[in-house]
Amino acid sequence: MTLEKPSSTEEEYFARMEAEKKKKSADAKRAQMSQTERERLKKEHWMRCPKCGLELQSIDYRGVTIDKCFHCGGIYLDDGELEKLAGQKSRLLQNIAELFKG
């Protein structure tokens, strides 16, 4: 019996299903959370590195303001910034973006 690698279409399907499941879970969690709690969390985590918790610094890179953690080296992009940096012609980035859009 040989195990064949799934096709890229099959891998993409399962990745989409997993992303959709995570998005639904996050939406349900957000719906249960009170507005006050959401505001508290936003204030607590605003411009903090999700990896190490230290403060993020905004820097300009190729005309796009990105957030960088100078402690752990993490770089974080807001919605649409990856496309701006890579250019709209990158099919790979379009596929990645489509994968996580709901």
Residue 17 included in any domain: no
Residue 33 included in any domain: no
pLDDT of residue 92 exceeding 70, the answer is no
- In which band, very low, low, confident or very high, does the pLDDT at 43 lie, cut at 50, 70 and 90? confident
pLDDT of residue 5 exceeding 70, the answer is no
Q: How many CB atoms lie within 10 A of CB 76?
A: 14
CATH code assigned at 56: 3.10.20
CB 51, CB 72: distance < 8 Å: yes
- In which band, very low, low, confident or very high, does the pLDDT at 84 lie, cut at 50, 70 and 90? confident
Query: Which residues make Cβ contacts (< 8 Å) with residue 96, sequence separation at least 6?
Result: 82
The total of structural domains in the chain comes to 1
Residue 58 included in any domain: yes
Token pair in block for residue 43: 């204030």
On whether the pTM is more than 0.85, the answer is no
Residue 15 included in any domain: no
Domain ranges, residue 63: 44-102
